[in-house]
Chains A and B, each alone.
Chain A
Amino acid sequence: MSPPVLEIDNLTMRFGGLTAIDRLSFKVERGAIHGLIGPNGAGKTTTFNVVSGFYKPTGGEVRLRGETISGLRMFEVARRGVVRTFQHSTLFAELTVLENVLIGTHMSFPPNIFAAMAGVDKANRRAARARAEEALEFFGLSGLSDELAGDLPHGHQRALGMAVALAARPDVVLLDEPFTGMNPEETRRMMELMVKLRNTGVTILLVEHDMHAIMGLCDRITCMSFGRLLAEGNPQEIRHHPDVIEAYLGGARHVA
């Protein structure tokens, strides 16, 4: 078995007196779709915020291919291949759909001000644009290039958020509740795209409340509650894990 691409090791994040993540450890295998679930307030988004470098952890560390990345700034983490989306549609609402995705290509095609002024960055701009259009195509947004991102319906905004992340060609992508606001048909299509994406070698760490989606997609699931690791296993194991059922439904039969 190849070494895990991402290791969360004894991670703790405190906000004043509140411990949002409490000595959390889990590993994400390369090329997996790994689910991170737990009741509201469990600390899933906070975990993403620490892994992506938005917060510095109070304790513990995050390793990417064995290298410690916790404590790096968000753009430095991104440049190492870990790109995230945000729980609420966080987009450049005032920019067009194409421009949004062009920002996603920033790392692959870094702008150069001198080249831009001299007009010798045409090839770079063309390549960035091609990459952006490819990402839009993948998410079925091609026809919407010139719309303002803020004007899109919610489902399309979620898809655009993923297109921005994917345009960066990350090794690991962290998706925070990507299916919220999508209708069942959109969700189904997105799930297919996730699988397609994973098959291209991208590792996906997924926070999602839609249990049907989580169970259908994930190779492995980590369940947390009150900042702590509650259970880990494949979908079957998680579905029937008594602690998970307890945490989610306070005693009802099934998670899904």
Chain B
Amino acid sequence: MAKLATLLGFGAILLALPHALSFSQQEILVFLTINVLLVASYRLLTLTGEWSLGHVVIMGVGAYASALLSKRLGIYVPAAMLLGAVTAAMIALALSFPLFRMKGFYFLIGSFAAGEIIRLLWKRFRDPFGGPKGIKKIDPMPDFDIGIYAFDFFEPISYYYFALAVVGVSLWVMWRIERSPVGLTFHAVHWQDRLAEASGVNVRAYRTLAFVLASGFAGLSGALLAHYIGTINPNSFDVEQMVFVLTWTIVGGTATFYGPILGCVVLTILNEIVLREAGFEQMRPLIYGLILILSVLFMPKGLESLVRGAFSGRNARKNSAGETEAME
């Protein structure tokens, strides 16, 4: 019951939040909401132990697919968004065949290469991807009315509520997956894939499953982005964006579900309030790099470890990132 009350209180804050913000802050809030989904999906991917550098490009696949499906085929935008997510998941499934022949460092590099190839295809094929200029005038969400609230997507606040609902449901689904036997198996594959396989776990299939699911949610975040900003191009999903995702994830920590989300929220607030106000906006990549290094050095278990320290004992989920024993 206390849990439910906390959740309701938290929900109320999230609903009230935009009313306390300026127009431009509301816009940032929309991006933040979308990025929370992106970074949470990235954690799902890392659950089985592999880190990808192609995740932002997969997000882009969802964005491009949803934009094109609505623009070219006139598909209703929310349906196009779902199809965008499905497309991202399917592309990830296809990529999993070459990628999961590799592990660790090679997987990292392989995923980066795969992402760059996709970006190259976007640049190269003007039809349908629009080349380097990308896609403009992407259909906005059509306005609708749910009785208690009329969505007017010209307003960031409406899009925020819409994104909040989509992201909220997505996080809930990811949370349920992680707490299920499937999620336990993901952890097992991560920590000791040999023992998992000796227990009958099809390790490759589980790695693929995590990758495909994570990519689907990343694709959904991309679709949310595309229909909000209305224009996307290959550089919207470049390696700089990927570095941001990595930074949020590492600064937040990956041992808990909320770690990367915390990293994303805290760094975004830092970025928008401190950097932008102080006029350091141009130096964002540099400062992010610095934060990344400092946090690896001085807070290797992430922001989440501070929260866990505060609630010490409660909700503890093992955080020892120690290497598992090597094959004899």
Contact = CB atoms under 8 A, between A and B. Distances in A.
B181 A75 contact: no
Given A75-B202, A107-B200, A94 B187 contact: yes
Nearest to A170: B200
Contacts of A94: 187, 191, 318, 320, 322
Contacts of B195: 86, 90-92, 103, 164
Interface size class for chain B?
20 to 34
Interface stretch (A111-119, A179-187, A231-239, A246-254): A111-119
Interface residues of A, number: 43
A99 interface: yes
A116 B192 contact: no
A54 B194 contact: yes
Given A88-B328, A94-B191, A113 B201 contact: no
A81 B197 CA distance: 13
Interface string B254-282: 00000000000000000000000000000
A136 to B, nearest CB: 15
Given A75-B200, A86-B194, A102 B184 contact: yes
A92 B320 CA distance: 12
A83 interface: yes
A106 B325 contact: no
B196 A103 contact: yes
Contact of A106 (B185, B320, B324, B328): B185
B91 interface: no
Which 5 A-B pairs have CB atoms at the shortest separation, nearest pair first?
A: A116-B180, A111-B181, A107-B200, A78-B200, A94-B318
Interface of B: 173, 176-177, 180-182, 184-185, 187-188, 191-192, 194-203, 209, 318, 320, 322, 324-325, 328
Given A86-B195, A94-B322, A113-B180, 4 more contacts: A75-B203, A117-B180, A128-B181, A168-B200
